[in-house]
Chains A and B, each alone.
Chain A
């Protein structure tokens, strides 16, 4: 049954996107009982085959030409399950791979199944690691991935990492191994510095995108901007707002000047307003701009100061604005010329009062995405509601992120938004005071909501008007928002809230719970009632062994479960691990653990095709 198909594809290099197929490696792909051999490229001469083709060879050729158009990974996953033939062809035509948990499979498994990957999206640490709930050096190392892909995917063009540990050596290997490399996106990553970035800038001659987003980048005192090669670049997007290191501005100006395709530029706070002015004058084609610092060292002198408003006026294409670090509010009006074009505005690093805010927002009729600090107060939110009728996404962060802070926004702001922004799809709202009535109003006014994340910062806070738990508010959200896929709850919540979630939250994929619920029943409602649940993160809630056992029929269908500071026993976790061999059950303690303790500080469990990982630090026990 196993035949070596040796027809070589013609027109290999017709389409520059298509890498030459290594037929031999395709032939030894695992799970294949018969080797694949369909012509690998996207040309139309698939029918020009030699007379020794078998009937399914023709089928596979046709299939490949069809499947190449399939983009959605859900569709591709479905297609790959039809039969072996479809599995094989789908594996050959999948060029973009998404891996939601880097420990769900080994890099070797990836390269053995998918042969022609051009783009990889890889996620590492669980989200609660962002809040210091996990010791550093837990894992999620990019190293094994880059070294395996270096050999298997010479045509790799794009790497998008989230919460991974990436070293300078990894970046060096990446820069050396992929001559056609185009896009590097690092979100919430760490472990590297400006020296690694310099290597990428220098060696990836076809680089289009270099986006460093909310990552920790060490300052190695390297002038990485000067490391970009001379001559016209292919750069389309350059984001380094998280890099806390001074940059060579002349070099940046030169780089921007020779990057005609540059559309997106996010500066760090060490670029001054005057420097921004110079850049804007030289780059009017920008569509997305992240300003650096928005202040002036000396007291403003209106005659001698550059006309910042004129610079912004010249940027007719800017639709997305962010930055505003170290903001001096008197400079804010200089962005007025672009306000009416804006679809996205991020003020979340700027402490802006309602009085400074309102004149700006009144012009932003087209705004769809808005992030800000709660310093704009309920008054500012009312202004948003009055003007931004197209708003789809709202995020309000706390200026003072402590439990006992004042909290300038409340249910009034939420209510106003719900009434003014009927198309709202996603909301993240930090506050100190909330009422069920406002949450219910939002559930009724905003039927398009897919993401509802409400964080009442004081733990166990009830409805501050009625004194009741927030059960009814969240209950209304899951009942009325039929498209809801992501939910984060807070405030005083009883098991009743969870009963609502289990009953109505049929599309929920991600659920975040903190300091909520009364008993195991709460978690049981969710585990038994939410069929689409993929990612469950719980902290400091009274859910124990009984609840954990209730989900055993679910865990293979989920990406991960995180439970920290919950009354779980090691014995029960061991039972779960024993009963479910393809589930990796990690108990994360601390460096000074007593191994004999039955107490489980943090449970992190996830399905895996390749068993427990081999890079476990000493504070992690895999049961």
Chain B
């Protein structure tokens, strides 16, 4: 498979582009013979109608490279600059024609709750001037999440949002007391666009369906409770 992987990164151009083709002067030996084989492979994929004999001949001839063949990272212009020039937003990294761009640029943006290794969701808190992003897959339980959230927003809560807030959700009777208080409670928006109280569904289900989290005052969250219980009954 070595040739296949090599083509992904080091696409050589077919034909005699590697020697003094303009003046017909021989440039001496190339360092590795694999390059020659590479070029044949590329030619065979990009020019379907070319016969095998023609491929052999191409090695000797001066051939203009097919327009689509590009090498990763060449010319050495940063993605940011390339994206500005092509007028597109630099979020998904390079769009290099032809080459299998394995690295897909240095994209920092991940949408929430992806099926892959990360599940980023935005967390906002009423009254805080900024929001945070967290990766739900880093946590195993609601307790973990609760601890992390309270640490993150500790400067704003002045003790009103404690680890108790989350745990008590599991207990229906305490729910009503909590919601009446001034403690902050975490709520989230799920896949259907509904706002729910955090803690009412099993953890894994929560991670899969949570799109964003909003920490609001308990008194404001009262309206959510019946819906949360309702959904829970329907889904279980």
Residues on A facing B (Cβ under 8 Å): 128-136, 168, 172, 188, 190-193, 195, 198-199, 202, 214, 216-224, 226-227, 242, 244, 325, 348-349, 351, 373, 397-404, 430, 455, 457, 459-460, 462, 464, 466-469, 492, 494, 514-515, 517-519, 539-544, 565-567, 590-592, 594, 597, 599, 601
Residue interface mask B69-94, A partner, CB < 8 A = 1:
01111111111111011000111011
Q: Are B31 and A214 in contact (CB under 8 A)?
A: no
Q: Are A457 and B75 in contact (CB under 8 A)?
A: yes
Minimum CB distance partner of B8 in chain A:
A590
**CB-CB under 8 A for A190 and B72, given A135-B102, A565-B10:** no
The 10 closest A-B pairs by CB, nearest first: A542-B31, A467-B23, A131-B73, A198-B130, A401-B77, A457-B75, A218-B109, A467-B22, A132-B103, A565-B10
Q: Are B103 and A597 in contact (CB under 8 A)?
A: no
- Pick the contact of B81: A132, A397, A539 (CB < 8 A): A397
Chain B: minimal CB distance from A74 (Å): 29
* B137 interface residue per 8 A CB criterion: no
* B133 interface residue per 8 A CB criterion: yes
- Pick the contact of B22: A222, A402, A464, A594 (CB < 8 A): A464
Minimum CB distance partner of B129 in chain A:
A227
B29-87 interface with A by 8 A CB criterion: 29-32, 64-65, 67, 70-82, 84-85
- State the CA gap A585–B132 with chains docked (Å): 37
Q: Which residues of B contact A567 (CB under 8 A)?
A: 31-32
Of the listed stretches B12-20, B160-168, B172-180, B184-192, chain A binds: B12-20
Chain B: minimal CB distance from A426 (Å): 17
Q: Are A455 and B75 in contact (CB under 8 A)?
A: yes
- State the CA gap A517–B94 with chains docked (Å): 28
Residues on B facing A (Cβ under 8 Å): 1-2, 5, 8-10, 13, 17-20, 22-23, 25, 27-32, 64-65, 67, 70-82, 84-85, 89-91, 93-94, 96, 101-109, 122, 129-133, 152
Q: Which residues of B contact A566 (CB under 8 A)?
A: 31
Chain A: minimal CB distance from B196 (Å): 21
Q: Which residues of B contact A543 (CB under 8 A)?
A: 31
Minimum CB distance partner of A456 in chain B:
B75
Chain B: minimal CB distance from A539 (Å): 8
**CB-CB under 8 A for A224 and B31, given A132-B93, A348-B81, A599-B2:** no
Q: Which residues of A contact B1 (CB under 8 A)?
A: 594
Q: Are A131 and B76 in contact (CB under 8 A)?
A: yes
Minimum CB distance partner of B122 in chain A:
A220
- 16 A-B pairs with CB atoms under 8 Å apart are A128-B76, A131-B72, A168-B133, A172-B152, A193-B108, A195-B132, A220-B122, A242-B80, A399-B85, A403-B70, A459-B71, A460-B19, A467-B20, A519-B28, A592-B5, A601-B9
| Interface SS of B by simple majority | loop
**CB-CB under 8 A for A349 and B72, given A131-B78, A191-B108, A227-B130:** no
**CB-CB under 8 A for A202 and B130, given A404-B65, A542-B30:** yes
Q: Which residues of A contact B108 (CB under 8 A)?
A: 190-193, 216-218
Knowing that A227-B129, A468-B23, A567-B31 are A-B contacts, what are 4 other residue pairs whose CB atoms are under 8 Å apart, sorted by A's residue number?
A: A218-B133, A459-B71, A469-B20, A494-B28
Q: Are B73 and A132 in contact (CB under 8 A)?
A: yes
Q: Are B90 and A244 in contact (CB under 8 A)?
A: yes
- Pick the contact of B28: A172, A404, A464, A518 (CB < 8 A): A518
**CB-CB under 8 A for A518 and B129, given A132-B105, A401-B85:** no
- Pick the contact of B75: A244, A430, A565 (CB < 8 A): A430
Q: Are B129 and A226 in contact (CB under 8 A)?
A: yes
Chain A: minimal CB distance from B62 (Å): 12
Q: Are A462 and B31 in contact (CB under 8 A)?
A: no
| Interface SS of A by simple majority | loop
Q: Are B67 and A222 in contact (CB under 8 A)?
A: no
Q: Are B106 and A216 in contact (CB under 8 A)?
A: yes
Q: Which residues of A contact B91 (CB under 8 A)?
A: 218, 244
- Pick the contact of B131: A192, A195, A594 (CB < 8 A): A195
Q: Are B101 and A397 in contact (CB under 8 A)?
A: no
Chain B: minimal CB distance from A146 (Å): 16
Minimum CB distance partner of A567 in chain B:
B32
Chain A: minimal CB distance from B180 (Å): 31
**CB-CB under 8 A for A136 and B107, given A214-B78, A216-B90, A601-B9:** yes
Q: Are B23 and A462 in contact (CB under 8 A)?
A: yes
- State the CA gap A126–B12 with chains docked (Å): 24
Chain A: minimal CB distance from B177 (Å): 32
Q: Are B79 and A132 in contact (CB under 8 A)?
A: yes
**CB-CB under 8 A for A494 and B31, given A348-B81, A594-B1:** no
- State the CA gap A188–B81 with chains docked (Å): 12
Chain B: minimal CB distance from A508 (Å): 18
Q: Which residues of A contact B130 (CB under 8 A)?
A: 195, 198-199, 202, 222, 224, 227
**CB-CB under 8 A for A214 and B80, given A132-B94, A195-B132, A518-B28:** yes
Q: Are B18 and A190 in contact (CB under 8 A)?
A: no
Query: Which of B67, B72, B130, B132 lies at the interface centre, i.e. has the most chain A CB atoms within 10 A of its CB?
Result: B130
Q: Which residues of A contact B122 (CB under 8 A)?
A: 195, 220-221
- State the CA gap A541–B19 with chains docked (Å): 14
- Pick the contact of A136: B25, B106, B129 (CB < 8 A): B106
Query: Which of A430, A460, A590 lies at the interface centre, i.e. has the most chain B CB atoms within 10 A of its CB?
Result: A460
Q: Are B129 and A202 in contact (CB under 8 A)?
A: yes
Q: Which residues of B contact A214 (CB under 8 A)?
A: 78, 80
Q: Are B84 and A349 in contact (CB under 8 A)?
A: yes
Q: Which residues of A contact B29 (CB under 8 A)?
A: 518-519
- Pick the contact of B74: A195, A244, A403, A590 (CB < 8 A): A403
Minimum CB distance partner of A593 in chain B:
B5
Q: Are A590 and B78 in contact (CB under 8 A)?
A: no
**CB-CB under 8 A for A403 and B75, given A132-B103, A222-B130:** yes
Q: Are A398 and B75 in contact (CB under 8 A)?
A: yes
Q: Which residues of B contact A168 (CB under 8 A)?
A: 132-133
Q: Which residues of A contact B106 (CB under 8 A)?
A: 129, 136, 190, 216
- State the CA gap A191–B18 with chains docked (Å): 39
Chain A: minimal CB distance from B192 (Å): 21
- State the CA gap A195–B96 with chains docked (Å): 30
- State the CA gap A519–B9 with chains docked (Å): 21
Q: Are A544 and B90 in contact (CB under 8 A)?
A: no
